[in-house]
Amino acid sequence: MTDKVLLEIKNLHAGIDGNEILRGVDLTVRAGEVHAIMGPNGSGKSTLAQVLAGNPAYTITTGSAQYLGKDLAALKPEERARDGLFLAFQYPVAIRGITNAYFLRSALNAIRKSRGEEELGPVEFMDALEEKLKLIGWDDSYLSRPVNDGFSGGEKKRNEILQLAVLEPKLAILDETDSGLDIDALKTVAHTVDKLRRPDSATVLVTHYYRILTHIMPDYVHVLSGGRIVKSGGKDLALELEEKGYDWVRDEAPVA
Partner 1 sequence: MTPLADTRERYVAAFKAFAGNGAARAPAWLKEMREAAIARFAELGFPTTKQEEWRFTSVAPIAETTFALSRGRESPHVTPRQLEPLCVGGPRAVRVVFVDGAFAPGLSVVRDLSRGVRAESLAAALERDPELARQHLARYAPYQASPFAALNTAFLSDGAFVYVPAGVEFDRPIELMFVATAGDGPTVSHPRSLVVVERGARATVVESYVALADGLYWTNAVTELAVGDGARLEHYRLQRESRQAYQVATTHTTQGRDSMLRLHPIALGGGLARHDVQTVLAGSGAELILNGFYLLHGSQHSDHHTVIDHAQPHCASHEFFNGIVGERGHGVFNGRIIVRPGAQRTDSKQTNNNLLLSTEARADSQPQLEIYADDVKCTHGSTVGPLDQTALYYLRSRGLSPETAAGMLTYGFAAEILGRMAHAELREELDRVVRARLADRSGGGRRA
DSSP 105-161: HHHHHHHHHHTTPPPPPHHHHHHHHHHHHHHHT--GGGGSSBTTTT--HHHHHHHHH
Q: Considering the complex, what minimum distance in angstroms separates the CB of residue 223 from partner 1?
A: 26
CB nearer partner 1, residue 109 or residue 232: 109
Using the rule CB under 8 A, is 167 a contact of partner 1?
A: yes
At its nearest, how many Å lie between partner 1 and the CB of residue 170?
A: 13
* Contact pattern from residue 38 through residue 57 relative to partner 1, giving x for each residue in contact according to CB under 8 A and a dash for the rest: ---------------xxxxx
> Applying CB under 8 A, which of residues 45, 80, 132, 158 lies at the interface with partner 1?
80
User: Cα dist. 114→79, 106, 108, 217 in Å?
Assistant: 9, 12, 10, 33
Strand partners for 67: 7, 70
Minimal distance, residue 125 CB to partner 1, in Å:
15
Neighbours of 32 (CB within 10 A): 18
Which range in 6-14, 73-81, 128-136, 234-242 contacts partner 1 by CB under 8 A?
73-81
Q: Is 132 in the site for partner 1 (CB under 8 A)?
A: no
Task: List helix spans (H) across 21-121.
Answer: 45-53, 77-82, 100-114
Min separation Cβ 72 and partner 1, Å? 13
Q: How far apart are CA 64 and CA 167, in angstroms?
A: 26
DSSP for 45-56 reads HHHHHHHHHT-T
Single residue of 19, 96, 130, 247 touching partner 1 by CB under 8 A: 96
Using CB under 8 A as the binding rule, whether residue 239 contacts partner 1 is answered as: no
Which region among 81-89, 192-200, 206-214, 246-254 touches partner 1 (by CB under 8 A)?
Answer: 81-89
Of the candidates 5, 31, 60, 107, which one interacts with partner 1 according to CB under 8 A?
107
The secondary structure element, H or E, covering residue 216 is: none
Q: Give the Cα separation of 173 and 36 in Å (integer).
A: 10
165 binds partner 1, rule: CB under 8 A: no
Give the footprint of partner 1 on this chain (CB under 8 A): 53-57, 76-78, 80-82, 86-87, 89, 92-98, 103, 106-107, 110-111, 114, 146, 163, 167
